[in-house]
């Protein structure tokens, strides 16, 4: 809502506050002033000029040489506008004038002809092109004939004004009108509100003699007022009206349309004017549209209607989409002499639905959707009649044609001063409360420690006690509320075990050298299930904004890999990222099974200490080590089993299992996948945190620090390449019994010195007895058992 302060002063004394200060007061009281716009923008030295003569420039087709009377003198001005002509009153920027954007007008020579100033368009005065009347949109603006030559344009045409741009929340529909804003400002500044005085002369003929009215849908249209004005002359509106509309962000058209828009802005009540003759039938019937009925609205679009749409008809065909937009077939034009003014109350839900269905929003629909003041429907019609008789020479027929079933009593809210103070934590005196309610013009009776408040119908947002609490508080001032802390029983607060584990993971990952990434949950249908271990039916949005963000992900890896590629494309060759986030799987429930996952993606060098000759590229075991460390931290026993997953290297992929359940996958990207993503060797991992966190960790009980030494024996084996070290390790552990404390691979050799298809793996075995120092003989006895078991399994001892 754009509020011209000059216009506002018609209704309320703004105490001549500087606009910024007025704006601040309005903001602090509850309606945010988004901008304070100075319409004059530093304009100066701009006057009304009379074009005495206008001739073509001999050297330039598009330029005219004008002799312009600017009051003190007649100045020669070169003008490039196509619509310049002798006999016009125009806007002249004199030499020394300033225009918006800091442009300064100087005497100049244009193609050899002197030019003493500039004849201006409205755009050149800083008015937005879309607000300039169509007739002047492509050229200079022509002032009325009675404009006083040489007078100051800025002050005479109300450009010395400031506009407040209000950012309205949906509840404050009451402030979508100048009067509504006037009530708000009146309450803030403790000033009275002056309503427009409506007086005009009626004709003897009655409106009902020319027009009949039928309302077929009283639920959707409980009040309809029609007035008939005849003998009007459709022409340009006077300057003051045009300027006010432009200040309010509305483009002037002609006096009839401008009056309806002016009253809309003034009262917040949408009006519509029909050309009476084009109605043809002298009848207005409001009904729901028939299926597939057609109407061409004023914006030139033909629209196919549905049964939900309320339409105004002439008894036969639609002439307007009720509350949204008029129809082209009854539009007011230059030839119009008699008009019907409609002022009606349409139920908000119906308008909202129609507006949404046709994707058509107008100044009218945006007000109806939020609910207009039922008590302004009739005054707005009268106000329009008055202005039309004043500005269009019209004769208003007596009375109105009216249908009225609208309830419009004021809502009563009962609230006690104690309630208000206890909700606020304040001690506001009753007198102060009554004063605020009086400023708001809410009629209030106080008795028995209870306030009985009649809420004016313009404030549809005030329904319950808490709404009154807010009204009192916002006008009393939120700065006056003290600061306290809740006096509730204090509980310890904290993180749940799951949340604690999540933080442990985060801290661990960072200690391991990974950067935390955050990616989008929405992805393309194509990548939604890529790398997903559990794939379910896709979950697509009903109306995605793009295919790229159309489907919920089932794996974190596609986006995480995109992030890795983003970095390598910028010559950051070593990237180590991790992410925790939900994947979305279809389940039994109508809601999805959201499972929190952890994912890792690493590429490039893991360790780079080149001057000391230490360099380590990422490989499978770097990431496996991270996962193993995490498992130790969380006290879970993870196992890794060879597996295959689309997109991963078939020989370098493992599933991660916990208690026999597959909870994750780790692997190197398949070379094709790496190529497609323009990546070098990249290792990824993804696992379900929900699964990982499932079991409570056991209480930590310390084990005694060894008092006796342990003894280490090594064994080097030659194995078939297909035998996995993990299998051998298990064998060693079971054969070693309880004295065998630890088994570690310390060497792996696959090379020329071995038979083809063989590899050598060396293990280091640690023996330990917590009760005593082991003797060589005791260790040898166990170790020989281990060796025997290995040989039996087919392993050869390496000499």
Partner 1 sequence: MEAQLNELKTQALDKIAAASNVKELNAVRVAYLGKKGPITDLLKGMGKLPAEERPKMGALVNVVREEVTVRLEERMAILEEQAINEKLQSETIDITLPGRPVKSGNAHPLTRVIEEIEDLFISMGYEIEEGPEVEKDYYNFEALNLPKGHPARDMQDSFYISEDILLRTHTSPVQARTMEAKGGEPIKIICPGKVYRRDNDDATHSHQFTQIEGLVIGEDIRMSDLKGTLSVFAKKMFGEDREIRLRPSFFPFTEPSVEMDISCFKCGGEGCNVCKKTGWIEILGAGMVHPNVLEMAGYDSKRLTGFAFGMGPERIAMLKYGIEDIRHFYTNDVRFLSQFQRTEV
343-402 residues in contact with partner 1 (CB under 8 A) are 348-349, 352-353, 369-370
Helix axes 255-267, 377-391, angle to 10 degrees: 150
Radius of gyration of the chain (CA): 41
Query: Taking the complex as a whole, how short is the minimal distance between the CB of residue 489 and partner 1, in angstroms?
Result: 7
- Determine the Cα–Cα distance for residues 272 and 364; give it in Å rounded to an integer: 9
Q: Which is nearer to partner 1, 76 or 582 (CB)?
A: 582
Q: Which is nearer to partner 1, 589 or 637 (CB)?
A: 589
User: Binders of partner 1 among 145-204, rule CB under 8 A?
Assistant: 169-172
Distances (CA, A) of 469 to 184, 413, 433, 464: 17, 11, 10, 9
Residue from 37, 426, 631, 690 binding partner 1 (CB under 8 A) = 426
Token couple for 740? 């065998």
Q: Which is nearer to partner 1, 334 or 570 (CB)?
A: 570
Residue from 291, 489, 699, 701 binding partner 1 (CB under 8 A) = 489
Q: Which is nearer to partner 1, 426 or 617 (CB)?
A: 426
Q: Which is nearer to partner 1, 518 or 773 (CB)?
A: 518
Residue from 487, 637, 755, 776 binding partner 1 (CB under 8 A) = 487
Q: Which is nearer to partner 1, 20 or 788 (CB)?
A: 20
Residue from 440, 552, 599, 630 binding partner 1 (CB under 8 A) = 552
Does 484 bind partner 1 (CB under 8 A)? Our answer is yes
**β-strand 443-447 against 450-455: which pairing, if any?**
antiparallel
- Determine the Cα–Cα distance for residues 620 and 681; give it in Å rounded to an integer: 10
- Determine the Cα–Cα distance for residues 717 and 550; give it in Å rounded to an integer: 54
Instruction: Specify the stretch interacting with partner 1 by CB under 8 A; choose among 86-94, 207-215, 235-243, 588-596.
Output: 588-596
Residue from 9, 28, 408, 624 binding partner 1 (CB under 8 A) = 28
Token couple for 95? 């030499």
- Determine the Cα–Cα distance for residues 780 and 66; give it in Å rounded to an integer: 119
- Determine the Cα–Cα distance for residues 556 and 522; give it in Å rounded to an integer: 11
- Taken in order 466, 467, 472, 476, the sign of the CA dihedral is positive
- Per-residue string for binding with partner 1, 652-691, x by CB under 8 A? ----------------------------------------
Q: Which is nearer to partner 1, 357 or 404 (CB)?
A: 357
What is residue 792's three-state secondary structure? helix
Query: Taking the complex as a whole, how short is the minimal distance between the CB of residue 591 and partner 1, in angstroms?
Result: 6
**β-strand 395-398 against 271-275: which pairing, if any?**
unpaired
Are 743 and 790 in contact by the 8 Å Cβ rule? The answer is no
Q: What is the 3-state secondary structure (H, E, C) of 152-190?
A: EHHHHCCCCCEEEEEECCCCCHHHCCHHHHHHHHHHHHC
Token couple for 697? 């960790």
Does 512 bind partner 1 (CB under 8 A)? Our answer is yes
**β-strand 202-206 against 395-398: which pairing, if any?**
parallel
Half-sphere exposure of 80 (CA within 13 A, CB side): 6
| Residue position matching structure tokens 């049964």 | 307
Does 625 bind partner 1 (CB under 8 A)? Our answer is no
- Determine the Cα–Cα distance for residues 798 and 787; give it in Å rounded to an integer: 12
Q: Which is nearer to partner 1, 149 or 469 (CB)?
A: 469
- Determine the Cα–Cα distance for residues 799 and 789; give it in Å rounded to an integer: 17
Helix axes 178-189, 430-439, angle to 10 degrees: 150
Q: Which is nearer to partner 1, 83 or 421 (CB)?
A: 421
Q: Which is nearer to partner 1, 94 or 370 (CB)?
A: 370
Are 516 and 510 in contact by the 8 Å Cβ rule? The answer is yes
Element (H, E) at 787: helix 776-792
Residue from 306, 521, 710, 793 binding partner 1 (CB under 8 A) = 521
Query: Taking the complex as a whole, how short is the minimal distance between the CB of residue 525 and partner 1, in angstroms?
Result: 14
User: Binders of partner 1 among 696-735, rule CB under 8 A?
Assistant: none
Residue from 16, 145, 146, 542 binding partner 1 (CB under 8 A) = 542
Instruction: Specify the stretch interacting with partner 1 by CB under 8 A; choose among 146-154, 241-249, 606-614, 690-698.
Output: 606-614
Does 520 bind partner 1 (CB under 8 A)? Our answer is yes
Instruction: Specify the stretch interacting with partner 1 by CB under 8 A; choose among 52-60, 155-163, 463-471, 681-689.
Output: 463-471
Does 483 bind partner 1 (CB under 8 A)? Our answer is yes
Instruction: Specify the stretch interacting with partner 1 by CB under 8 A; choose among 124-132, 261-269, 460-468, 716-724.
Output: 460-468
Does 592 bind partner 1 (CB under 8 A)? Our answer is yes
- Determine the Cα–Cα distance for residues 193 and 21; give it in Å rounded to an integer: 20
Q: Which is nearer to partner 1, 349 or 650 (CB)?
A: 349
Does 608 bind partner 1 (CB under 8 A)? Our answer is yes
Q: Which is nearer to partner 1, 291 or 489 (CB)?
A: 489
Q: Which is nearer to partner 1, 505 or 795 (CB)?
A: 505
Q: Tell me how many residues contact partner 1 (CB under 8 A).
A: 94
Residue from 612, 696, 703, 753 binding partner 1 (CB under 8 A) = 612
Q: Which is nearer to partner 1, 116 or 348 (CB)?
A: 348
- 771 Cβ neighbours under 8 A, 6+ residues apart: 708
Does 416 bind partner 1 (CB under 8 A)? Our answer is no
Residue from 447, 543, 699, 700 binding partner 1 (CB under 8 A) = 543
On the 0-12 / 13-18 / 19+ scale of CB atoms within 10 A, 520 is exposed
Does 756 bind partner 1 (CB under 8 A)? Our answer is no
| Residue position matching structure tokens 């949204």 | 324
Residue from 614, 698, 752, 771 binding partner 1 (CB under 8 A) = 614
Does 308 bind partner 1 (CB under 8 A)? Our answer is no
Cross-strand pairs, 386? none
């Amino acid at each position: 809502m754009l509020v011209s302060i000059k216009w506002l002063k018609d209704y309320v004394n703004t105490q001549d506050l500087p606009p910024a200060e007025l704006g601040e007061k309005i903001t602090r009281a509850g309606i945010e002033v988004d901008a304070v716009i100075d319409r004059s923008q530093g304009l100066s030295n701009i006057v009304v000029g009379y074009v005495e003569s206008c001739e073509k420039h001999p050297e330039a087709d598009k330029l005219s040489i004008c002799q312009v009377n600017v009051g003190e003198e007649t100045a020669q001005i070169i003008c490039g506008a196509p619509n310049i002509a002798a006999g016009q009153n125009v806007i002249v920027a004199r030499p020394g004038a300033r225009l918006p954007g800091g442009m300064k007008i100087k005497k100049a020579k244009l193609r050899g002809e002197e030019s003493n100033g500039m004849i201006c368009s409205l755009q050149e005065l800083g008015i937005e092109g879309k607000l300039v009347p169509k007739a002047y949109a492509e050229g200079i603006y022509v002032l009325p004939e009675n404009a006083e030559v040489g007078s100051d344009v800025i002050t005479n045409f109300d450009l010395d004004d400031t506009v407040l741009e209000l950012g309205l929340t949906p509840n404050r529909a009451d402030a979508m009108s100048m009067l509504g804003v006037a009530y708000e400002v009146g309450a803030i500044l403790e000033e009275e509100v002056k309503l427009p005085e409506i007086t005009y002369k009626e004709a003897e003929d009655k409106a009902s003699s020319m027009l009949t009215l039928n309302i077929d849908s009283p639920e959707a249209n409980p009040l309809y007022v029609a007035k008939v004005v005849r003998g009007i002359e459709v022409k340009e509106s006077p300057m003051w009206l045009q300027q006010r509309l432009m200040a309010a962000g509305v483009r002037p058209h002609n006096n009839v349309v401008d009056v309806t828009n002016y009253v809309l802005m003034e009262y917040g009540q949408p009006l519509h004017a029909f050309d009476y003759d084009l109605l043809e039938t002298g009848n207005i019937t409001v009904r729901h549209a028939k299926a597939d009925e057609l109407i061409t609205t004023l914006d030139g679009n033909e629209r196919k209607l549905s049964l939900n749409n309320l339409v105004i008809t002439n008894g036969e065909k639609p002439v307007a989409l009720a509350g949204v937009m008029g129809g082209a077939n009854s539009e007011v034009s230059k030839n119009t002499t008699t008009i019907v003014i409609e002022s009606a109350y349409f139920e908000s839900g119906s308008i909202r639905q129609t507006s949404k269905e046709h994707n058509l929003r107008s100044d009218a629909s945006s007000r109806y959707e939020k609910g207009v003041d039922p008590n302004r429907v009739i005054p707005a019609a009268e106000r329009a009649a008055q202005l039309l008789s004043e500005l269009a020479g019209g004769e208003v027929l007596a009375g109105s044609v009216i249908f009225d079933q609208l309830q419009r009593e004021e809502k009563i809210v009962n609230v006690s001063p104690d309630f208000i103070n206890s909700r606020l934590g304040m001690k506001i005196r009753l007198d102060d409360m009554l004063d605020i309610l009086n400023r708001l013009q809410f009629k209030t009776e106080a008795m028995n420690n209870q306030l009985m408040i009649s809420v004016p119908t313009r404030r549809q947002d005030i329904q319950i006690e808490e709404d009154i609490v807010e009204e009192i508080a916002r006008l009393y001032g939120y700065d006056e509320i003290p600061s306290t802390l809740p006096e509730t029983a204090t509980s310890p607060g904290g993180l749940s075990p799951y949340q604690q584990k999540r933080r442990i993971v985060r801290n661990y990952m960072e200690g391991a050298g990974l950067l935390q990434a955050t990616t989008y949950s929405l992805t393309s249908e194509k990548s939604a299930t890529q790398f997903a271990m559990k794939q379910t039916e896709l979950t697509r949005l009903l109306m995605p904004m793009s295919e790229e963000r159309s489907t919920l992900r089932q794996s974190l890896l596609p986006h995480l890999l995109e992030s890795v590629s983003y970095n390598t494309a910028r010559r950051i060759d070593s990237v180590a990222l991790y992410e925790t986030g939900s994947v979305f799987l279809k389940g039994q429930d109508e809601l999805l099974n959201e499972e929190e996952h952890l994912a890792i993606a690493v590429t490039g060098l893991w360790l780079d200490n080149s001057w000391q000759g230490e360099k380590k590229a990422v490989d499978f075991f770097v990431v496996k080590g991270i996962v193993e460390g995490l498992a130790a931290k969380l006290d879970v026993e993870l196992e890794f089993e060879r597996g295959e997953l689309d997109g991963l290297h078939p020989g370098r992929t493992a599933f991660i299992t916990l208690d026999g359940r597959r909870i994750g996958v780790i692997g190197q990207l398949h070379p094709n996948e790496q190529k497609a993503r323009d990546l070098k060797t990249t290792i990824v991992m993804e696992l379900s945190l929900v699964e990982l966190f499932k079991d409570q960790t056991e209480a930590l009980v310390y084990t005694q620090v060894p008092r006796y030494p342990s003894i280490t024996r090594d064994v080097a084996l030659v194995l078939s390449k297909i035998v996995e070290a993990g299998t051998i390790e298990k064998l060693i552990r079971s054969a070693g019994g309880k004295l065998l404390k630890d088994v570690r691979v310390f060497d792996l050799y696959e090379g020329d010195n071995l038979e083809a298809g063989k590899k050598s793996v060396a293990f280091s075995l640690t023996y330990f007895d917590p009760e005593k120092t082991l003797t060589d003989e005791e260790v040898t006895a166990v170790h020989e058992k281990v060796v025997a078991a290995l040989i039996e399994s087919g392993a050869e001892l390496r000499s």
